């Protein structure tokens, strides 16, 4: 019997989200700011994975990078300085069905937010955390941050920063229950996208340190990486980052690294003459806090409303008889 092969017909009634469906306000970042590249990669991820906007949440603290939720047509929460992670954890705990992302700057994460950062790693909740590292406080106009290179002149260190920069990658690798650590540069968009995609598919807390250019306040700190591709060491592996032919030809300094090897991951995180790009560590066997502590009872919207009204009734003012 002749007929139409219904299995090969595209279901046009099913929603399809294009890049435009994740684009909200026009970004106000400076021209040449690396945050633009990160935003594009994330929007591409949402499109490729077909993440429903109403099921996707971006949480941030304060800073240039923390304007991220304003530019995503999803749910978003622009929190307090350094407090993005506990907010995101609260969202994930009560709504484990949501796709939760965090965007924070180097000062946001590694200074006022340090305690939250450390414990977020230990809780290992299923969240993608992107730290935009430009080595400076940008939104408040050029103060030295914990990742500012030694000698950098800023408004708070006019004679040059006295201390060596904090290493967020190594710090993350040293915390109990760490399960995913990667570092990447925003000016290689293909690699940036692939690393964010791997972080999204990881079940657990995925921490990505993204070296991000600030053309206004720190325009030269990444010159050695930009002008000399061999200073970037690409960490490749069948279970990790894989390069296209084009990227491989440009970045020839490649090392095969098994992301399950913590010892080597820490070695690559401490390189002084090169910068390792890729997935340094991944362990899918670390339990997620929301799985351990997930409430046994699921509350419906009606049940939540009833509970709220019951509490409000305690403070209602009764009219005089």
Q: Is the pLDDT of residue 3 over 70?
A: no
pLDDT tens column, 226-283: 999 999 999 999 999 999 999 999 999 999 999 999 999 999 999 999 999 999 999 9
pLDDT, residue 321, reads: 64
Helix (H, G, I), strand (E, B) or coil at 27: coil
Write out the DSSP string of 236-249. Answer: E-TTSB---HHHHH
pLDDT tens column, 94-146: 899 999 999 999 999 999 999 999 999 999 999 999 999 999 998 888 899 99
Maximum pairwise Cα distance, the chain = 85
pLDDT, residue 298, reads: 67
- The domain defined by 15-313 folds into Rossmann fold (3.40.50)
Rounded to the nearest 10°, the torsion over CA 102, 104, 108, 112 is 10
Position 6 confidence tier, pLDDT thresholds 50, 70, 90: very low
* Residue 218 DSSP class: B
Which of 145, 143, 146 lies closest to 158 in space, CA to CA?
143
pLDDT, residue 15, reads: 82
**What are the residues facing 214 on neighbouring strands?**
218
pLDDT, residue 1, reads: 38
Q: Is the pLDDT of residue 305 over 80?
A: yes
Mean pLDDT of 162-183: 97
Q: Do residues 116 and 151 touch, judged by C-beta distance below 8 A?
A: no
Alpha helix segments (H runs only) across 187-258: 189-201, 223-227, 245-250
Q: Do residues 280 and 235 touch, judged by C-beta distance below 8 A?
A: yes
Q: Is the pLDDT of residue 12 over 70?
A: no
Domain ranges of the chain: 15-313
Residue with tokens 């290992």: 124
CA distance 91 to 186: 28
Regarding pTM above 0.85, the answer is: yes
174: which 2 tokens? 């040293």
pLDDT tens column, 40-96: 999 999 999 999 999 999 999 999 999 999 999 999 999 999 999 999 999 999 899
pLDDT, residue 314, reads: 86
Helix (H, G, I), strand (E, B) or coil at 275: strand
């Amino acid at each position: 019997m002749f007929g139409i092969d219904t299995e090969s017909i595209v279901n046009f009634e099913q929603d399809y989200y294009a890049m435009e469906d994740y684009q909200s306000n026009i970004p106000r970042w400076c021209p040449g700011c690396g945050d633009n590249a990160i935003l594009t990669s994330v929007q591409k991820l949402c499109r490729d994975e077909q993440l429903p906007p109403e099921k996707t949440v971006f949480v941030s603290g304060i800073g240039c990078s923390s304007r991220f939720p304003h530019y995503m047509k999803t749910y978003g929460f622009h929190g307090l300085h350094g407090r993005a992670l506990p907010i995101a954890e609260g969202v994930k705990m009560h709504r484990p069905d949501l796709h939760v992302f965090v965007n924070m700057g180097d000062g946001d994460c590694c200074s006022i937010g340090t305690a939250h950062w450390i414990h977020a790693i230990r809780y290992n909740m299923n969240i993608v955390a992107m730290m935009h590292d430009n080595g400076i406080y940008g939104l408040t106009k050029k103060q030295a941050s914990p990742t500012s290179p030694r000698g950098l002149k800023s408004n708070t260190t006019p004679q040059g920063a006295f201390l060596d920069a904090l290493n967020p990658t190594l710090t993350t690798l040293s915390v109990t229950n760490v399960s995913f650590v990667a570092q990447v540069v925003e000016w290689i968009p293909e690699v940036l996208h692939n690393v964010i995609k791997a972080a999204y598919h990881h079940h657990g807390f995925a921490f990505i340190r993204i070296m991000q250019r600030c053309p206004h306040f720190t325009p030269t700190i990444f010159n050695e990486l930009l002008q000399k591709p061999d200073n970037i060491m690409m960490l490749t592996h069948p279970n990790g980052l894989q390069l296209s032919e084009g990227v491989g030809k440009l970045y020839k300094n490649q090392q095969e690294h098994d992301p399950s090897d913590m010892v080597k991951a820490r070695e690559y995180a401490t390189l002084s003459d090169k910068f390792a790009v890729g997935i340094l560590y991944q362990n899918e066997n670390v339990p997620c806090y929301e799985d351990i502590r997930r409430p046994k009872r699921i509350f419906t919207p009606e049940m939540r409303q009833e509970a709220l009204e019951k509490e409000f009734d305690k403070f209602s003012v009764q009219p005089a008889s």
